[in-house]
Structure 1
Amino acid sequence: MFLCLYNFKDFKTSLIFGTAPKRWFARTWVPLKTLRVYADGSMKGDKGAPVVLDFRSSVIRLRQVCKNEPRYVVELPMPKWVIERIKEGGDIKYAMIGLKNNELYLALVAEREVEPYQPSGYRLVVDVNSWRYGIAWGLIHNGQLVSFKQEKPNLNELLTLYYQAVKRGRKHGALMRIGLHHTTQGKRLRRQAKARRGKIYRVTRDKAYFLASKLVRKALKYKALLVIDDMTEESRRELLEEGLPRDVIKLLMSNLRRFVHQLETLAKWYGVPYEFKRLPSTVCPICRHELTQEDGRVMVCPNCGFKAPRDKVPMHWAIKEARDCSVKVRYRA
């Protein structure tokens, strides 16, 4: 299943509820049937469905859900991802309409039946950290780390946007305390602060989507088993221990859940076998002794002398588990 939210933007006032959705609508997503009309004129779905996906004109039409209009009153351009999912053999059998952050969205749900492939012996290990340290991934084969990389957004850009937003927000707050926040200057400061926070969200969201897509494509290329070590909460605790402001921590953690969800969704869609597995970064993969951290986030074992960058320790655990699994398979054979 592949789900994507489509923002109505200028179409909010077209709903039967008038210019503002009723309270229950903010808490409920309404399921809608769909009719799909393809380029060759063939159709699938309910002919009376309120959501019509017309691939001949590359538009989505809504009917019977809008005020004072018997048929189509809202026509949206067809998102590119919908066309791509259809080409890949998917189908959009139903949709949902609802609110997210007080914005109206149409959620289109694409479904596809696919059997996961048999892994070839490669493992693609993904260690989910905060954006400060990046998403670390490694490709493992025959007990060796073939490739390793850490990826993250431009942190300087994100922090610059954050501090600019804070500065403008404080100026707006100062004007509010003396009753001048409705002036031209006050409104401008509020817009500028909101725009910068919005850009932070978009940058991290786009990075999450891009990276999830890149990793699934890499898993497909090598027919690898995708191993996901979701350390989101541990990363949050680590940032708290460093004494960073909570707003900065929120910035560094933004959209990581979205990344994990997108990674899992794409893996299901393309038939990539995956598993969630705890791969510790503070326990020695050789002797299981507690590691100590030195400067530069280098982990050292005081018991056996193992030494590695913190973000590579999970890769050593994955190599160890792959070897143990291989030994068990040979033993059974």
Structure 2
Amino acid sequence: MYTKTTLRDKIIEAKTGLVFYSLTPPKINTEENKVLTIANNQIERLKYLDIDGLILYDIQDESLRTEKERTFSFIPTIAPEHYGKEFLSELNIPKIVYKSIANLTKTDFQNWLIRNENLEYVVFVGASSHQQIEATNFSLFDAYNIKKEFANKLLLGGVTIPERHSKKGDEHIRLFNKMDNGCNFFVSQCVYNLNDTKDLLSDYYYHSLETGNNVAPVIFTLAPCGSFKTLQFMEWLGIQVPKWLYNDLKHSKDILEASINTSTNIATEILNYANAKNIPVGFNIESISIKKEEIEAAQELLGNIMHLVKRN
């Protein structure tokens, strides 16, 4: 009898070529009728897509991370676990919920795990500044330990930031430390710097050979950019766009099409590099903007990536 391979199986078996799509839930102050409309539109766009999973983001205020002025004002969003359960239940797609531990205490987090015992996949996101950790005395590794005690069956993912590797040179060590604490897969911040990404993969691979440790799947996030304002916001988020590429996108006659082509080329390079070393990689497609044209561009990029993954 044929048994369908689940997302859990694919992650644990470190399969390459996983494809995710990600959404940010509507702002918390959005009227319920409008939330229903947004959710129904998302369901229509996604229900026939052959993706492995849907990521639902938990957005936090990162104003303490940087002194730069935020391009778009911060408004809290509907909790991703609530949005997935109450508004996207029609989507028969595995849902990966992000959970930010910023501003949570140990008790807050423990209660959240107990309330959400039916979740299958979660990605814990650490605080964006030391001030937040000091205020609550609760860190990402505290969250890992509580998860082991109260939700041991929950499949856990972690965040990786290739740009951080170029500054500190230890992102691959962070990955292995997170794996030691129960992480089975990783999702990157949006990638526009190919060199930083390949540097991370290289160190990740060779460290695994030196130590005899297995590698876990790394899912690289890709997003189109439809305007100079979106490009500025990406920069504020910490997404490192090389100067030459920043200039090309800024002065492009069609920045959206240029960014789709760029992201597709980046994915091709990552996949070729990873396949040559048997590193399990996949891709997550998102739209940083809520503009209709950028969401449609994310759909186009998703189609390109699905074709690319199947071809390989």
TM-score, normalising length: structure 2: 0.23
Rg larger in structure = 1
Q: Which has the higher strand share?
A: 1
Q: Which has the higher helix share?
A: 2
Work out which structure has the larger RCO, using CA pairs closer than 8 Å and 6 or more positions apart in sequence.
Answer: 2
